[in-house]
Structure formats: structure tokens, C-alpha cells
Chains A and B, each alone.
Chain A
Amino acid sequence: MNLPAEADPDAALMLRVQRGDAEAFGDLVARWQKPVVNFVHRLLSDPDEAEDLAQAVFVQVWKAAPRYRQTARFSTFLFTVARNLCLNEIRRRSRHPAEPLDPRLPGDDESPERPLPDAGQIPADVAAQRAELIVKVDEALADLPEKQRLALALCREGELSYEEIAVVLETTVPATKSLIHRARETLKTRLKPYLSTGTWDQP
């Protein structure tokens, strides 16, 4: 069953992309680049690779356009492509752990570490606490089972509904809710010291 194009303007753009409309594709990229980069970043924890992989996601969307069918929202299609590429990359990394997509030499200054949030405007001890918290959250997220991490990233970064996440993960809505709730329970346990006040910068 096809959804009406009016129900999802992005799907209408994608139908134009299907006919080779590069301008429509540019609009889709502009609209979705940030959520896709965030999603990939949340899964891979590497900002440089996140952008490279996000670009690969859009290239894949362009290539897959002739096969696109308007049976679900465009975002569901987009994040399904993103999910597949992320899983491929995660598995590639697990097979070749010391082989990043874009290997850099030690000491290479081309890609400096990203600055901490507002690092120049906060006291050093608070900045240190935030840095520690970032590491803790990253570790807790990275230790989640793959499917729970995906479900959580689709929910928080992709802002997909439970129904859409279920489609992307090829599972049911109750199973999706269960994945997200189990992930949150694990995170609450691991990050308990940082949750006591309900604010992230006061661990």
C-alpha cells in the first residue's frame, strides 16, 4: 500500500529523485544530513567517520532511488540504509579492529580532538567532570547490545516513532519498546551516580 505523497513531503521529494531530480535530492540531503550524522556518530563514536559514513548513506539512497517504494515514511527508508551501513562498519571494525576507514598517522594534527562543550567558558574542574561524564556515557552506550544501541539511536537521534523503528529493525512494536526500555534500564544502572540530581553536569 502506498502512502499519499502529501502525508510525507520527503517521500514526494524522493519520488522526484527517482526521476533523476538532483535538486530534490539536494533538498533531502540538506534536511536530513544532521540527523543522519548524529545517528551514525552515536553508533560509531567517531565524528570524522560519522560524516564520511553519513555521506555514504546519502550516496546509497541516490543509488537505491529506482527501487524506492512509498510504502512507509522516507525517514524509515533513510534510516534503514543508515542502519545497514553502520552495521557493516561495526562488523568490519570487529574483524579488523586496528584498521579505521581513514587511517591517520599518530600525531597527525589534521583532525584535532573535538573540543569539549563550551570548554572555553567553564571552569576547569567542571570541564573535567564533563569530560569524564562524556566518557562514561559513551562507554555505557558502546557496551549496550547492538540492537538496543540501534533502537536507542533511532529513537533519540533519528526521532523515529516506535512503529518506524520497528520497521527499520525488522521487528515488532512491542519488541522495539522492550529494546529501548532494556537499554534505558542498563544505562540508568551504569550512570546512576550522574542521575541523582537530574542534571548532567553535576555528577
Chain B
Amino acid sequence: MQESDTMNPESHDDWLDVVAARRLAQRERELLRDSMAGRPAEQRRLERELALNDLLDAHRPAPPVSSNFAALVMAEVSRSAPKRSPMSSVLEWLRSSGLPRMAAFAALALALGAGWWRMDSRRQDRMMRGAVEVARVSSGVDGGALADFELVRHLDQQSKPDDDALIVALAQ
């Protein structure tokens, strides 16, 4: 973060965020103090915040880091790395190459195709059986029966007065 980005003495509304966020250079501190000239209450607050920063940053030195820190990390990394068998290398190559995704897509397409083929076979089978049934029925009906059938189908459904008189006479 550049000083000029945040240390504008004209804008002091966000100074608390700036002071809390990071270590300030001496010049930045002076700029902040200058920006609060004539506002003693705010100046006191700023001094308390800066004092807290000093306390947090300097209350004790940072812990020493071993000179072999990086070497220990690298040793741990190589120790914890799983021994790779040729099979696992092949599997890793397959995984990274995207082949499993393609294989899964192909398997899905195959399954969908097989399902569609099976449904289509069943549909054709049903049609075939229907055609056979129609052929069988039509081959067993003679022309006379069909003529009677048509005669009966065309009989008038309403009874006539003569029919009613005939029925009454027969009943007596």
C-alpha cells in the first residue's frame, strides 16, 4: 500500500481503519498528527491507537526461526509423499488426461442407446403381434356372417306401431 493512497491529511474519517490495519512509517504518523491539528480529543485518540500498535508490534521480539526451517519442511514433504506404484501413476495419468470423463460419457451414451433400442424392439414386437392377430381374425370370418352383421347393424332402433300391435296380439 502506498502512503499517498491512504495518508491524505484532508480525509481523516477512515484514519482509525488505517492505523489499525498496519504498521505506519514515521512520516505517515506525522501526516496523521498534522491532519488532526486543532482537534485535541481526536489527537489523544490517535496517540492511544499508535501506542497500542507499538505495544502489539514490539512487546516482544518475533520468535527466532530455525535456519533449517525450510530444509525441515522439505524433508517432511518428501517423507510424507506417498510412494507411487506404477499402477497409481497410470491411474493418475488417466485421471489427469480426462479419459475417465470421456469413458463415463461413452458409457452413458451406450446405456441410453441400449435402452432406446430395447424400447424400439418391444414396440416393433407389439406391432407385429397386433398385425398377426388382425390377420388371424380376418381370415376366420366368412362373407355370410359379415352380411348378417351389416343387416343387423342397419335395423331401425325405434319400434313401429305395427310392431307394438303384433306384440300385444301375441301376448293375449
Contacts and interface: CB of A to CB of B under 8 A. Distances in A.
Identify the interface centre among A41, A58, A162, A187: most chain B CB within 10 Å of its CB.
Answer: A58
A161 B21 CA distance: 7
B48 A41 contact: no
A29 B50 CA distance: 31
Contact of A55 (B17, B20, B57, B69): B69
A184 B57 contact: no
Contacts of B55: 133, 137, 187, 191, 194-195, 200
A26 B70 contact: yes
A38 B23 CA distance: 15
A37 B65 contact: yes
Interface in B24-79: 47-52, 54-66, 69-70, 72-74, 76-77
A22 B54 CA distance: 38
A134 interface: yes
B62 to A, nearest CB: 5
A33 B57 contact: no
Contact of B54 (A54, A116, A159, A199): A199
Nearest to A63: B80
Nearest to B62: A38
Contacts of A33: 65, 69-70
A94 interface: no
A111 interface: no
Interface residues of A, number: 45
A117 B52 contact: no
A46 B22 CA distance: 24
A66 to B, nearest CB: 10
Given A134-B60, A197-B51, A200-B54, A22 B74 contact: yes
Given A33-B69, A41-B62, A63-B80, 4 more contacts: A33-B70, A59-B77, A184-B20, A198-B51
Interface of B: 1, 16-17, 20-23, 47-52, 54-66, 69-70, 72-74, 76-77, 80
